[in-house]
Amino acid sequence: MRFLGYAVANVFETLLRLLPFPCRTGLIKIGKPQKDSPVFLTCNYHLTVQRVKRALKGMDAYLLIANSRGINVWCAAAGGHLTNHEVISVLKTSGIEGLVGHRQVILPQLAATGVELKIIKEKTGWRIIWGPVYAKDIPVFMQNKMKAGRMEREVKFPFIQRLEVAISWAFSLSLLAGIIAAIFFPRVFVPLILFIWGLSLATFIFYPLYGSWLSSGKGSLTFSLLVWGVILLALVLYSHLSSGISWRFLIRWGIISFVFVFITTLDLKGGSPLLAGGFEELKVTIDEDKCRGAAFCETVCPRNCYDVNRKKHKAILPRAERCVLCGACIIQCPFDALYFKNPEGEVILPGTMRKYKQNLLGKRVMKTGNNR
């Protein structure tokens, strides 16, 4: 019965993934927690809470649900809905301070884009420990004495998740387009829906084949045109084989496929957690003089871009091309040694990232003197 509820919630919320699903905030007890039991914190996106609870099964722990307005951890943290304020609030108002003797709270690492370890410590005395990206890795994390290995710290885009994105995308799009088609062009309704689902599924399932090509900075426009070209070819072939070339058929479906290919593929960078959503011209830059090798950046980077040279105590970016511009490293560096810079030499400083997160990212660049 429990499982059925979990399954239904999964299906339903996958279909409507683009909408928020808030659930109750505050304190949840898992098992029979004691004064020294671990304290976890997560967002109040319903599905996330379900998954975390599942991962904690069999443990004795406290789970704090912060008010992220029903949005998942990464989006909420990047958009300014899961910030210091929400974390401070749930720590202070949930009553947890009276229940445990320690002051350590485990946050999902992706919250590092919005929540500052340093401020939480200053304002509440609680020490944040960055837990794994995915809830399912929590048991491993606990076995390793609360250390997340490189694998558990990296955002991935596995088949199942790609399928989820494809389905939610196709569902929302076919709902919208389907209503319009049903009213104005009832004849194309069925093939249109099939086309949308086929396109979405193919785009996301074949992602590994072209993902690295896209992330190497190639425009998504080129990519969209390529996909459209392939579909055009297929259309010509189909019409040639079935009843001989029909211009009306080709023009109609040429236009329809053009529209939907662009709607679907132009958003790839937003839909995939492995690509920067625009603003690729920004690069994370290390101020060598300020860096002291504290390695906070290495810990929070969800793309494993960093290494730290332990002898020289300096961070390096050997895998900078994987960066998704989440800003977590910049926000967490205790010495303000990191910032964004574009080719024109304009920068986005740590203070700006901490305040506004990813909101209006591209518009927050500013000129600097020549001290950088």
- Cβ-based nearer residue to other proteins, 67 or 113: 67
Q: Is residue 324 within the footprint of ligand SF4 (CB under 6 A)?
A: yes
Q: What residues have CB less than 8 Å from 103, skipping those under 6 apart?
A: 124, 125, 126, 127
Binds 293: which of ligand SF4, other proteins, none (CB < 5-8 Å by kind): ligand SF4
**3 state SS of 73:** helix
Binds 335: which of ligand SF4, other proteins, none (CB < 5-8 Å by kind): ligand SF4
Q: Which of 54, 103, 118, 123 binds other proteins (CB under 8 A)?
A: 123
Q: Is residue 325 within the footprint of ligand SF4 (CB under 6 A)?
A: yes
Minimum Å distance from CB 75 to ligand SF4? 14
Q: Is residue 236 within the footprint of other proteins (CB under 8 A)?
A: no
Q: Which of 144, 242, 359, 368 binds other proteins (CB under 8 A)?
A: 359
Closest by alpha carbon to 217, among 279, 302, 286, 310?
Answer: 279
Instruction: With beta carbons less than 8 A apart as the criterion, state whether 261 and 232 touch.
Output: no
Q: Which token pair is 220?
A: 């998504």
Binds 90: which of other proteins, ligand SF4, none (CB < 5-8 Å by kind): other proteins
Show the binding pattern over residues 278-297: x = contacts other proteins (CB under 8 A), - = does not: x-------------------
Closest by alpha carbon to 332, among 123, 103, 148, 111?
Answer: 111
In the region spanning residues 179 to 208, those forming contacts with other proteins, defined by CB under 8 A, are none
Q: Is residue 172 within the footprint of other proteins (CB under 8 A)?
A: yes
Applying CB under 6 A, the site for ligand SF4 has a residue count of 27
Question: Which residues of 314-360 form beta strands (DSSP E)?
Answer: 314-316, 338-341, 347-348
Q: Give the integer Cα–Cα distance in Å for 213 and 110.
A: 25
Q: Which token pair is 190?
A: 């069925």
- Other CB atoms within 10 A of residue 65 CB: 23
Give the phi and the psi of residue 288 in degrees, each rounded to 5.
Answer: -55, -35
**Residue 314 pairs with which residues in a beta bridge?**
309
Give the phi and the psi of residue 63 in degrees, each rounded to 5.
Answer: -120, 120
Q: Is residue 26 within the footprint of other proteins (CB under 8 A)?
A: yes
**Residue 283 pairs with which residues in a beta bridge?**
341
- Cβ-based nearer residue to ligand SF4, 77 or 227: 77
* Residues binding ligand SF4 (CB under 6 A): 284, 286, 291-297, 300-303, 305, 308, 315, 323-329, 333, 335, 337-338
* Residues binding other proteins (CB under 8 A): 18-20, 22, 25-26, 67, 69-70, 79-81, 83, 85-86, 88-90, 92-95, 123, 169, 172, 262-264, 266-267, 270-271, 277-278, 355-356, 359-360
